[in-house]
Amino acid sequence: MKNSSEPRIIFMGTPEFAGGILEFLIENKFNIISVYTQGDKKVGRSQSLEKSVVKKIAEEKRIKIFEPIKFDENVISELKNQNPDLIIVSAYGKILPKSVLEIPKYGIINTHPSALPKYRGASPIQNAILNGEKKTTATIMLLTEKVDAGDILLQEEIAIKETETYRELAKRLSEISAKLLVKAIPLWIEKKIEPKKQNEAQATFCQMIKKEDGKIDWNNSTQDIYNRYRAFESWPGIFSYFQKNKQNLRIKLIQIYLDKNVKENNFKLGEIFQENEKIKVKTGKGNIILKEVQLEGKNKASIEDFIRGYPNFLGSVLK
C-alpha cells in the first residue's frame, strides 16, 4: 500500500530504454499511478502485434495503462482526473501539448541521453555513435513546449567504448538515467536543486533516421561504415547490393568488424576478397571484415556458409 503523502507519478515511455527506467522507479518504491505508452506495433514478416517494453512491465506490475493515439480533450480530461503531482517522460515518442504540461503540480521531468543542448531530438544515441563521439551524457531535465530545450536538473558524462553498439550504449545510459532520476525527483520536489538553463547558441539537432540511411557508401572510410553499423544495429541495420544473374539482391550486413591490419591493395571499392582466412570488403579507407550476412528473404548466415551457397560472392563488388 502506497503512502497517500507520496507524490503521485505518471510515467510516459515506450522502448527498452524507458522500460529500464520504469523498473528502477518501481524498485525504489516511487508511487507510479499509471503508465502512458505507444500502442502495439506490427513487427517481423508475420506482422504480429507486439507490446511495448513499458506496457509489458506495467502489466506485470498491475499498473494502469493508457495508449492514446493523440492527446484530445477526452485523454487530457482523464489525465487531469488522475491528479498527478509529477509526470516522468522517457523516450515516449509523442509530443505533449501545453495543456498537458500544465497539469502536474511539479511539472514534467524528462530523461534525454545526450549532452544537451547537443543532440536534441529523437535519436541522440544513434547520432552520437554515427558521428564518432567519444563521450555522451545522461541528462535529467524539465519538459517544455520546445523539444529538449528545458532547464537541466542533473547530468552525468560517460565515455563511449570503441566497439559499443546502440543497444549496449542505450542500456548503460538507461541505467545511469534511472539513478540520476531517482536522485533528482526528491531534490526537485523539495526545491533543493537549481535548474540550469541551456545555451541555445550551442544547440544541435539529431538526424532523423530513415530505413534507407542503412545503405552503405563504400567510398566512406572503414571507421565511418563501422560507426554506421554500430549506430543502426537495432534499426534499420546496414545493407548493400550484391549482383547475381544480373539481379541486384539486397544484402544486410548483420555482423562486421574493423580490419586493423590494413595493407595497400588494388581491390575496387566494395569488392569482396579473402585475406588471412578473413572475408573482407574494400572501403574508401581500409577494409571491413564480414562475419554474418543476410540476403533479402533468406535467413541469417555466417559468411563462410553464405559463400558455400553463393561462391561467386567472392570477387563480386557490392554497390
Domains of the chain and any CATH numbers: 9-202 (3.40.50.170), 211-313 (3.10.25.10)
Smallest CA-to-CA distance from 205 within 92, 127, 113 is with 127
Element at 223 (helix H, strand E): helix 222-231
CA–CA gap between residue 125 and residue 11 (Å, rounded): 21
CA distance 131 to 227: 7
Q: Rounded to an integer, what distance in angstroms lies between the CA atom of residue 184 and that of residue 154? A: 7
Q: What's the first-to-final CA gap in the chain, in angstroms?
A: 61
pLDDT in tens, 122-168: 999 999 999 999 999 999 999 999 999 999 999 999 999 999 999 99
pLDDT digits (tens, 9 = 90+) for 99-110: 999 999 999 999
pLDDT tens column, 28-86? 999 999 999 999 987 776 778 899 999 999 999 999 999 999 999 999 999 999 999 99
Give me 55's grid cell. Answer: 506496457
Helix, strand, coil abundance in the chain, percent, nearest 5: 30, 30, 45
pTM assigned to the model: 0.93
* Alpha carbon 89 to chain centroid, angstroms: 15
Cell numbers for 224: 565511418
